[in-house]
Structure 1
């Protein structure tokens, strides 16, 4: 393949990656700024914690019906409108910084739009990116995510120095409008298919029909859904353990604020370094190995962190888990895109996203109560051990020689879905 052909094949993926990178940085700016605004208003950690509960609640509200819409409308146009809606709602936050309940309402609807956007973008990306480019694309996206993890807080800090959190919120709103413009430049990958499809209004019967389609697919492709469920449960456990990270660092390891900040920086360096290695060598990395071993090594990092008693050991654990995370995520997203048909990918992601959000709420609550009744160290260590067992099973499932066909594109999944 000559250089010109390579440039042409990566023209639109590069534009899309650029838009994703800007949007991710803006999301970090918004996230940190909103935490500061709410805390300054109330002085209450509980009020800030409520912001973390709103996202999974919005997912629960949205995901059972959103897939039915996503798979039936033009993904490019929907992404543009969702970007505009999020930018507008975030702009409205600037004028409600004196009313806590209005902030919560706006954040809820912002997260509803975000819950719609995520599976829509996955569906669009799966259509846009050729099969042989997906693993490379996902590794580059992971690199951008890690860059945003470092740049977002740094830019937010600068904005706080020269202005107020309000300015940072406005910057984030602009990033969504910018993302909408970038999306408009992208090709309409399903123009002909949707034009030839009959229009269906959303109804209870349509939702029921779609849930049946998801259930039928899950029954037919049990191996795909086992991998999906194991990895999703792994993500749930990460979220539950992460919810106790600050308290564990302060109370068990006795870190100062400065040491904890440095620990977060080490995590950022681990993500960036892992993503860079992943992006450079992605073509040489076997998909089942990076899903399974990447997940196991993330769990090993959590184990080191959970049993650490000082900053040095904790920093090793944090670096290992952050470094390995980009490999696990790249592998899983590529597996997911290759084995879920684009015609149903929105519904699959939405329905199972609903279950994942529900489990996040349950396990995060259980871990929080357990930390109060027992001890933070016991709960974090137990969660890390369980995570290691879970990812060990995932690794064994990934490395079955008889399942190799699932780690290259499988046309067989495009059969009768219902």
Structure 2
């Protein structure tokens, strides 16, 4: 009986990893294909840049209410439903002739993704026991890193023989395959009503949920500080990433071919790092994975900012890619272990709104600053800031983990 249970447990984890991997491969194919599709349609760099604003904007429009649904309904069904919705909408993209229609369709695709992410986070916490989460997250990082390498490679081959439209259809198919795999995962019980017994989404429910998230944040301030501070560092790095192609081609005077090679080698470094991480994860403390990993990622940015050749620039990006898996695995596991499954959808969604707002602001600000000042000076200055912030994160993560939300509630109830 125990052997059967263990087999089912690993089978479920394997299916979940397979679904994530297939979906991620499709995402990277789609990311390149949609940029090429928009550029071919409009010939406008501004139109392409608009694609980078859609996802965080959709997140803001969706996440202030989606967490209330995620925590009350079958997360597996939500994941399947959003996969199917994304498959249908993505398949429609090559058939649309107007830019505004494509933007509108992409907005709904991103809104579905904004529901899928917190649903998958909550489902993982329910499905995977706490003692197995670090190893699972390491394998998930390996899966995503592999997708980062395989997806663009498939896209490159497809562009040699087909059109971007076919790549977009392949992405739609990947969502359907992901949905089919998720169908075979176990159904897990969730709370389906709010405190009033309602099963429907209401304004009162959303307000009540936001109040509960704020209450949890006050009780588990340390946990949410680490989570927010980590994502602040990620946002700054992401804003730098939005200027990487300009830095490589205009500042370093490298060719588009060399740029593509740097990105490919970064992907290879990410896969190598994820593989090493999956081997060592059992012996690595979360606090060192988060803080130390992020510090080495920041060091990669610094090396890239002072580079004057293809070799040094590649070294910086490979270092960045290699250690990103360590920091991501540490942060995800820390978050899963300290946030109750019953609140994860709401907390992920509420903080996702703030993250998306900051993402939009950071991309715009960095773009303007890059126009006014030296891009190398910008990269160098921000890289130093990232290193300082990473040291602060590492120091803060050395503190013992905060008491859990429900332990605190029990203590309060007993004392009263």
TM-score by length of 1: 0.94
Query: Is the Cα–Cα contact under 8 Å of residues 277 and 325 in structure 2 kept in the other structure?
Result: yes
List alignment gaps of at least 5 residues for structure 2: none
Per the alignment, residue 407 of structure 2 pairs with 412
Q: Give CA-to-partner distance per residue, 1:80-108, whole Å, 9 cap, x none.
A: 11111100111111211x22111111001
- Which has the higher mean CA deviation after the structures are superposed, 30-39 or 378-387? 378-387
Query: Is the Cα–Cα contact under 8 Å of residues 216 and 405 in structure 2 kept in the other structure?
Result: no
> Counterparts in 2 of 1:179-328, with a 5 A limit?
179-190=178-189, 193-194=191-192, 198-328=197-327
> Counterparts in 2 of 1:16-415, with a 5 A limit?
16-96=16-96, 98-190=97-189, 193-194=191-192, 198-400=197-399, 403-404=400-401, 412=407
Query: Is the Cα–Cα contact under 8 Å of residues 341 and 413 in structure 1 kept in the other structure?
Result: no
| CA apart distance, 1:33 | 0.8
Query: Is the Cα–Cα contact under 8 Å of residues 72 and 193 in structure 2 kept in the other structure?
Result: no
Q: Give CA-to-partner distance per residue, 1:301-324, whole Å, 9 cap, x none.
A: 111111111112111111111111
Q: Give CA-to-partner distance per residue, 1:83-140, whole Å, 9 cap, x none.
A: 11100111111211x2211111100110000011101110111100111110011000
Query: Is the Cα–Cα contact under 8 Å of residues 219 and 405 in structure 2 kept in the other structure?
Result: no
Q: Give CA-to-partner distance per residue, 1:172-230, whole Å, 9 cap, x none.
A: 11111111111110001116x54999333222221111111111111101110110111
Q: Distance in 1 between matches of 2:261 and 2:203?
A: 51
Q: Distance in 2 between matches of 1:24 and 1:166?
A: 18
Equivalent residues, number: 412
| CA apart distance, 1:76 | 1.0
Residue 42 to residue 414, structure 1, CA distance change in 2 (3 Å): farther
Q: Distance in 1 between matches of 2:45 and 2:373?
A: 22
Residue 103 to residue 6, structure 1, CA distance change in 2 (3 Å): same
Q: Distance in 2 between matches of 1:188 and 1:63?
A: 24
Residue 195 to residue 109, structure 1, CA distance change in 2 (3 Å): closer
Q: Distance in 2 between matches of 1:248 and 1:76?
A: 42
| CA apart distance, 1:377 | 1.1
Q: Distance in 2 between matches of 1:248 and 1:89?
A: 34
| CA apart distance, 1:381 | 1.5
Q: Give CA-to-partner distance per residue, 1:148-190, whole Å, 9 cap, x none.
A: 0010011111222221111111111111111111111000111
| CA apart distance, 1:405 | 6.5
- Which has the higher mean CA deviation after the structures are superposed, 380-389 or 351-360? 380-389
Secondary structure, in 3 states, of the residue corresponding to 1:309? coil
Q: Distance in 1 between matches of 2:34 and 2:316?
A: 29
| CA apart distance, 1:396 | 0.2
| CA apart distance, 1:382 | 1.7
Residue 414 to residue 132, structure 1, CA distance change in 2 (3 Å): farther
Secondary structure, in 3 states, of the residue corresponding to 2:342? coil
Secondary structure, in 3 states, of the residue corresponding to 1:28? helix
List alignment gaps of at least 5 residues for structure 1: none
Residue 196 to residue 12, structure 1, CA distance change in 2 (3 Å): farther
| CA apart distance, 1:414 | 7.3
Q: Distance in 2 between matches of 1:332 and 1:279?
A: 15
| CA apart distance, 1:361 | 0.8
Q: Distance in 1 between matches of 2:193 and 2:380?
A: 54
- Which has the higher mean CA deviation after the structures are superposed, 203-212 or 128-137? 203-212
Q: Distance in 1 between matches of 2:145 and 2:235?
A: 20
Query: Is the Cα–Cα contact under 8 Å of residues 305 and 317 in structure 1 kept in the other structure?
Result: yes
Q: Distance in 2 between matches of 1:258 and 1:3?
A: 52
| CA apart distance, 1:417 | 11
